[in-house]
Amino acid sequence: MTTTTTEPNPTEFEGGIVLETNGLTKKFGALTAVDDVSLEIESGTINSIIGPNGAGKTTLFNLFTGKHEPTSGSIKFRGVDIGGRKPHEIVADGIVRSYQITNFFSELTTLENVRLATQARQTGFRPTDFVRHHGSVQEPIDEARRVLERVHLGDVAQRRAANLSYGQRRHLEIAISLAADPDLLLMDEPTAGMSPEETRETVELITEIAEDVTLVLIEHDMEIVMDISDRIAVMNMGSLLARGTPEEIQQDDRVQEAYLGGGDRD
């Protein structure tokens, strides 16, 4: 990744903490969807957010991406307060959310879709890059090919997106997110609606991606959560109920009562 002057200085990282919230709160009228959440995400880790429907998981993501402004509290990304920044500014900073909705052009090829995402970043967010890349169409294509290899779609680079399988389309969405060159990738239910085989492939892909990118997932499948997470955050009615390793979370009595149903998992 090339470093430009518009990016926060990586030396501002505090102890490997990439994202930090303090007292983060979001109210919708009388409803407190996210309630006084203080949370640290360590660089290079896979983090899962779990909790029952309506717990505030997606709202927390929407605060991270700038879709919602905090009612109170702060969010720091790489040591810089990002509360109140616009969504496109936060993407340029390096927080990217992968959408499970179809946000690609189905008439274009897999490669063209990723190339567009690469170019959008270069032209939209890094004007100096645009000047440098002007006249060179090869480089975004090369970068797009590299991203497609990372998500195992190299073989279908020339296939129209409309003709990809469901699992491949979801991988294309991940590729489009990676084309934005994130430091922190947010995925809301990345395996939702997938077959067991597609789920297995996607979980494998997620662990590969995590070698370069810090991940935060919202995931309902407890087997996946316990398997791939370094750290888990449990939300309940807007609050952070518990935070810890999979072992710690499985042994936490409050979590057992509120969420895992009280019984033994094994």
Ligand X SMILES: Nc1ncnc2c1ncn2[C@@H]1O[C@H](COP(=O)(O)OP(=O)(O)OP(=O)(O)O)[C@@H](O)[C@H]1O
In which element (H, E) is residue 231 found?
strand 231-236
Is residue 58 at the binding interface for Mg ion, with CB under 5 A as the rule? Answer: yes
Helices assigned H by DSSP within the chain: 57-64, 87-93, 110-125, 127-133, 138-150, 166-179, 196-209, 222-228, 246-251, 253-255
Return the one option of Mg ion, ligand X, none that residue 41 interacts with (CB less than 5 to 8 A, by type): none
Region of 56-64, 126-134, 145-153, 197-205 interacting with ligand X (CB under 6 A): 56-64
Amino acid at 52: P
Return the one option of Mg ion, ligand X, none that residue 33 interacts with (CB less than 5 to 8 A, by type): ligand X
DSSP line for 48-91: EEE-STTSSHHHHHHHHTTSS--SEEEEEETTEE-TT--HHHHH
Region of 55-63, 64-72, 127-135, 146-154 interacting with Mg ion (CB under 5 A): 55-63
For residue 96, the Cα-to-chain-centroid distance in whole angstroms is 6
Record the tokens describing residue 128, joined without a space.
């100096």
Q: Give the shortest CB-57-to-Mg ion separation in angstroms.
A: 5
Nearest to 174, CA basis, from 140, 131, 213: 213
Nearer CB in complex with ligand X: 51/182: 51
Q: Give the shortest CB-51-to-ligand X separation in angstroms.
A: 6
Nearer CB in complex with Mg ion: 43/58: 58
Region of 47-55, 83-91, 100-108, 145-153 interacting with ligand X (CB under 6 A): 47-55
Record the tokens describing residue 104, joined without a space.
């690609």
Q: Give the shortest CB-74-to-ligand X separation in angstroms.
A: 19
The answer to whether 247 touches 226, Cβ cutoff 8 Å, is no
Record the tokens describing residue 59, joined without a space.
């709202």
Region of 53-61, 100-108, 203-211, 250-258 interacting with ligand X (CB under 6 A): 53-61
Give me the half-sphere count of Cα atoms (radius 13 Å) on the Cβ side of residue 265: 15
Return the one option of ligand X, Mg ion, none that residue 78 interacts with (CB less than 5 to 8 A, by type): none
Return the one option of Mg ion, ligand X, none that residue 53 interacts with (CB less than 5 to 8 A, by type): ligand X
Nearer CB in complex with Mg ion: 58/250: 58
Is residue 54 at the binding interface for ligand X, with CB under 6 A as the rule? Answer: yes
Record the tokens describing residue 55, joined without a space.
């717990």
Nearer CB in complex with ligand X: 31/162: 31
The answer to whether 82 touches 76, Cβ cutoff 8 Å, is yes
What 3-state class would DSSP assign to 114?
Answer: helix
Is residue 56 at the binding interface for ligand X, with CB under 6 A as the rule? Answer: yes
Q: Give the shortest CB-249-to-ligand X separation in angstroms.
A: 16
Q: Give the shortest CB-218-to-Mg ion separation in angstroms.
A: 6
Cβ partners under 8 Å of residue 197, min gap 6: 167
The contact set with ligand X (CB under 6 A) reads 28, 31, 33, 51, 53-59
